[in-house]
Each structure stands twice: as C-alpha cells, then as structure tokens.
Chains A and B, each alone.
Chain A
Amino acid sequence: MTSLTTRDIACTRGYRDLFAGLNLSLKAGDLLRVEGPNGSGKTSLLRILAGLAQPAEGEVLWDDLVISSLDSDYRNQLLYLGHKPAIKYELTPRENLTFAGHLADFSDRQSIDAALEQLGLYGFEDILCAHLSAGQKRRVALSLLMLSQAKVWILDEPYTSLDVAAVAFLEQQFQRHLESGGILLLTSHQPVGRISGHLRSLVLPELSLQQVDV
C-alpha cells in the first residue's frame, strides 16, 4: 500500500498564509504537477511533503502514518531534488554518485557507470564537476533517478538546464517509475508530455486561500 496524503496542511511566510486547508491524496502510479506563479508556495509545498519543512498546520502522512513519527522509514522511500545542485563541485560525477550510493544503499560501480553513460556523461566520469557545463551538472544529480529505489520522487523544477535529449530521458525515467508503482511530484513551468498514467495537476493560487482537494 503506497499512499502519500496530507491533512489540512497550511504554509505561512512571515505572518501571511500561502495556502491552508490543503488535502492531497496520492497513490501508487500518480503524478502530481504543481503549478503556480512565483512565490505561491510550490517549493514550500514540496519541501513540506519531503519532510524538510514543517507545515504551519496539519500533517503529511505516508501509508496513513505521520511522517515525523516514521522518520527514517519514510526517508528510505524518498528521493528529493530541489533547486540546489545536490552534488559537490569538488568531486567527480563518479565520486558524487558513489557517496550518494553509500547513503542510499546502491553503490556498485557498474550501475553507477551505466547511469552516467545513459545520461550522456560517458568520458566525464572522472572530471571534477566544477568543470562540467550547467546541463551536465544537472544530469549528474538526475542520475540518481536511475539508481534510486525510492518510491516517492519529489522534484523541484527538474527540467531546468536540460536539452531535448535529456528531457526525453527524464520523462522515460518518470514513466518507468510510475509504472513500477511509484509516486511522482514535481513543479515545472512546462507541461509534462509523453507520459501516460494518472496525471493530476494542482494550481496554487497566488497569495490567497482556498480549500483545495486534489
């Protein structure tokens, strides 16, 4: 049973509410795309769902248990990529992924090399990430999508800096993930194309409150 739900969560910035009374219910195979203008709380929502931020009110539940009490059991199921690079520029792609693997229990060299190759980084595995282009840096982080066993993917603007081939690869990974029963949440300014399955969309209104049930 895979379900990610929220109960009346609210988010505030300063003394103002960004959203309140938000109820989401996501099951295996669901993709939720969060849209809205800048400042509407998309990133905050994703961070709350990842457990990085606490909601001002309400709770996030994984399989009907509050994630703060689940702690590492939830984090085991989770892959989050935010705006920040999530890799160290002073390490090579291979070193970065090996480290990530030690934290997440996938560390054999072959799968790491295979992932890097799939993302068009063959030949760049041992070059310091500082010397890679913006798109290449982004692709190192996205290699985690191939390697991770996580059931919940929360991605903030995953399309940033990607060329057409990388976007295609990314959406392939999304498809694979959804078909194997995973949940995917993302924000993006462009529509998610070429994916079949249960696609839903949440539009966060700008700085006003609405009861939203998705």
Chain B
Amino acid sequence: MNPSVSQAFMAVLKRDLMLSYRHRNELLNPLFFFVLVVMLFPLGTSPDKSLLLTMAPGVIWVAALLAAMLSLEILFRSDYEDGTLEQIILSPHPLAMLVLAKVVAHWLVTGFPMLLLAPLLGIFMYLPEQGIITLMLTLLIGTPVLSLVGAIGMALTVGLRRGGMLLSLLVLPLYIPVLIFSASTVDAQLANLGISGQVYFLCAMLVLAITLAPVAAAAALKISIE
C-alpha cells in the first residue's frame, strides 16, 4: 500500500465517523429496533424460560440481521445524493479500499454497539453468562460480515428509487450462512459441546468477505452511478 492510499483510507474512515457523529441521534434507531424486535418474541409466544432460552440465539441473531440491514442506508445513500460518492469514485485510489474504509466506519457505529447490547438481550432471553459471552463472540465476528455483504446489496440498489425492499431480498439470503453458524455456535455452547469448528468457519467467512465484498461493492457502485 503506497502512502497516499492509506492516507486516503484513513481520510474516508475519519470523515465517515465524523459524519456519523453529526448524525448521532439517527444512529440510535437501528439499536432501538434491535432491542424491540427481541422484546416482541416473549410477548408473541410466552415468557416461559425454557422456551425463550431455546429460541434465544436464533431470535437475537435474526434481530441482528434485520437491524444491520436497516442501518445499511447510511453507507452510500447520502454520498450518492450529494455527489461526493462520484468524487470518491473518481479519486485515483482503488475504490475497493475506500469502500472498505466506509464499511469499517459503518461497523464501528452499527455492529459494534449491537455487540455491546448483547448482554442486555441475553438477559431478556434467559441466556446464562457463558452463553452471553459466546453470543458476543459470534456478533464480533458476524456483524462485520453483515456490514461487508450488506455493502454489496446497498451498492447495487443505491441508485434505485425505491431500493429498500429490493435490498432485503438481495441481502437476506446472503446473510443466512452467518445466521446458521452463529446461532448454532451459541446452541452448541449451551449444550456444552465444542464450538471451535463453528468459530473457525465464521472467521473464514469473515476473511472471504473482507477480501471479496469491497471489490464487488466497488464494481456495483460504478454501475449505480451511471
């Protein structure tokens, strides 16, 4: 990485964090949503402890997927509308790197706070302490994957007038492996079985996503601005 690419990367990262800070009220919305969705389950089923405990990993993870998806708008929408996205695309730096910077900023203000909310939600669903820790581990590895894969979907739909519903159709099927493996990791932990295999697989998904998703999202952005 020659010096000016890393300089551009940091510039994009800092700028996006600064913009998020100036919109900090809006950032709370996906987090409220995350908590609300989990709350709906006991209300819709029953407050029975063993039922909620069985459902806990899946329910919390589904809520995380949905909250992550809702938050994807902040990635490119504003930049697309005021023309700064074009300027970023026209800069001489590899677009994939700049997209990665935006995704890192996105995760720091969406995925990372969800991680911090996990203990609260674990308590709502009667998860024991070890379960909560495993849940947080899966969120730590999984939510960046959600941001990365979501970036591809957002890049494809940012130029469309009503891209919101289409975004969910594109992105949720791609989220399914993360859901399956994360939830089953916590399940395995609760049954006192080994979790290292699943964790390695989640890490492999993260590595694959970091390598390929920015490239795909960059290609999609160039198409969307036409």
Contact = CB atoms under 8 A, between A and B. Distances in A.
Q: Do A's and B's CB atoms come within 8 Å in the complex?
A: yes
Interface of A: 47, 50-54, 72-73, 75-76, 78, 80, 82-91, 95, 99-100, 102-105
B83 A90 contact: no
B81 interface: yes
Interface residues of B, number: 27
A104 to B, nearest CB: 7
Contacts of A52: 86, 89-90, 225-226
Contacts of A54: 226
Contacts of A103: 8, 11, 87-88, 91-93
Mostly, the B contact residues are: helix
B90 A75 contact: yes
A83 B82 CA distance: 9
B18 interface: yes
B92 A87 contact: no
Given A85-B83, A87-B84, A103-B8, A72 B226 contact: no
A103 B84 CA distance: 12
Given A54-B226, A102-B7, A102-B11, A88 B84 contact: yes
B4 A105 contact: yes
B19 interface: yes
B94 interface: yes
Closest 3 CB pairs of A and B: A84-B83, A102-B11, A103-B91
24 contacts: A52-B90, A72-B92, A72-B93, A73-B92, A75-B92, A80-B87, A82-B86, A84-B82, A86-B84, A87-B84, A88-B15, A88-B79, A88-B82, A88-B84, A89-B82, A90-B22, A90-B23, A91-B15, A95-B15, A102-B11, A103-B87, A103-B91, A103-B93, A104-B91
